[in-house]
Amino acid sequence: MGEGVLALEDGGEVEATLRALLVEVLGLSSARVAGFDSETELFGALPEFDSMAVANLLTGIEERFGILIEDDDVEAEDFMTFGRLLSRTRALSLH
């Protein structure tokens, strides 16, 4: 595995990495992102979470997990809540 690529067996690591990416990509505070729960609305609810942020987040997920995400691997609904995004990220990290 390359430097910065995570072992994918640990679901907690996936969540921690996703939260860190949201802080980095959206420019939100760590405390705010730590408060996100499965129902926290993201795309369309946070002004920082626009289409450019989605592209940057996908790139970050690819880099951190050492995967390639194809266009048909994700849908707009995957970015609607933190819970959906986390679930999709976990699924993608298993590829």
Question: What is the tens place of the pLDDT at every residue in 44-95?
Answer: 999 999 999 999 999 999 999 999 999 899 999 999 999 999 999 999 988 7
Q: Average pLDDT over the chain, rounded to whole?
A: 90
- Helical spans, DSSP H, in the chain: 11-26, 30-34, 51-65, 82-93
Quick check: is 3 in a domain?
no
Structural domain of residue 27, as residue ranges?
11-93
Question: What is the tens place of the pLDDT at every residue in 13-55?
Answer: 999 999 999 999 999 999 999 999 999 999 999 999 999 999 9
Domain count, the chain: 1
Distance in angstroms (rounded) separating the CA atoms of residues 36 and 3: 28
Tokens of 11: 């679901």
pLDDT at position 12 is: 87
Quick check: is 27 in a domain?
yes
Q: Write the CATH number for 85.
A: 1.10.1200.10
